[in-house]
Amino acid sequence: MTIAVGDKIPAATLTKVTAAGPEAVSTADYFAGRKIALFSVPGAYTPTCSAKHLPGFVEQADALKAKGIDEIACTAVNDAFVMGAWGKANGADAVTMLADGNAEFVTALGLTMDGSKFGMGTRGQRFAMVVNDGTVEALHVEAGGEFRVSSAEYMLEHM
């Protein structure tokens, strides 16, 4: 079943790279008591993700925070080292990069996609959501191959 507005974020463990190395991030702890703009990309370093999706959230970070967002996070079915390197390569200091290496989180959300024909296996769909204290407040899931409703600009227009 796919997550919907009003649902609680499911329990899962994500990973982020810190100066001390990889750190496990519990979704229950991460989303508690804060308003998070979370977006998912099919893969770090992939064309649309690198050219448009991540840069849009970096460019709109101040505007999102002005609308009450406490933190902006990006997730993908990649390992934490790839996510960390991709964020660094794109100057994404304003975005927390959360690795979902085994697709545990996107599977729990019901938002997986099959990228096998591209040699990518199971990946997360392209989406964006606002999570307020662990509850989905807004959810924008892209149709296959599109990039429109999960952009930072679209999120800002609909807040």
> Is residue 155 within 8 Å of residue 65, measured between CB atoms?
no
Please give the structure tokens belonging to residue 53.
């999706």
Catalytic annotation on 74?
A: no
Burial label, 145 (beta-carbon count in 10 A; 0-12, 13-18, 19+): exposed
Contact 140, 4 (CB under 8 A): no
Count H helices, E strands: the chain? 7, 9
- Which residue of the set 9, 17, 49, 129 is catalytic? 49
d(CA 12, CA 4): 17
Helix then strand then coil, in percent of the chain rounded to 5, is: 30, 30, 40
Query: How many CB atoms lie under 10 A from the CB of residue 22?
Result: 15
What does the alpha-carbon distance between residue 55 and residue 80 come to, in Å, rounded to a whole number?
A: 19
Would you please indicate which residues are annotated as catalytic (active-site) residues? 49
